[in-house]
């Protein structure tokens, strides 16, 4: 039963990411799944410790991630049009 829930969570996350959902939505889904896993733990201090590990907001997560990975943006491709010089040299 545990494997089915895990597989379902992974499948939903894959679908959301594949369909272009935001990083924030994917992060929140992941955190919800992890908090639910904490909820299934034994009561008491172990459960509280588990939940405390997932209190980070998306803004905090993104800030820390960008510090580690860097804020790299994917460059958009540019179309190189032939210039007159290129056309003159190709006709020779």
Q: Which residue has the tokens 């039963």?
A: 1
- Give the per-residue pLDDT at 7: 66
Name the band, by pLDDT with cuts 50, 70 and 90, for residue 64.
Answer: confident
Class of residue 54 by CB neighbours under 10 A (exposed 0-12, middle 13-18, buried 19+): middle
How far apart, in whole angstroms, are the C-alpha atoms of residue 81 and residue 73? 24
Boundaries of every domain in the chain: 2-68
pLDDT at 61: 87
Looking at the chain, the whole-number percentage of residues with pLDDT higher than 90 is 0
What is the C-alpha to C-alpha distance for residues 19 and 28, in angstroms, rounded to an integer? Answer: 16
User: Per residue in 66-91, pLDDT tens?
Assistant: 888 876 665 556 767 777 665 555 55
Q: What band does 43 get if pLDDT is binned at 50, 70 and 90?
A: confident
Look up the pTM and report it: 0.49
């Amino acid at each position: 039963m545990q494997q089915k829930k895990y597989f379902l969570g992974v499948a939903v996350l894959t679908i959301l990411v594949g369909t272009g959902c935001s990083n924030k939505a994917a992060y929140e889904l992941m955190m919800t799944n992890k908090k639910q896993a904490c909820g299934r733990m034994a009561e008491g201090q172990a459960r509280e410790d588990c939940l405390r590990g997932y209190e980070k907001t998306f803004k905090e997560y993104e800030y820390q991630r960008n510090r580690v990975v860097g804020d790299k943006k994917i460059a958009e491709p540019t179309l190189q049009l032939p210039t007159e010089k290129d056309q003159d040299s190709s006709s020779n």
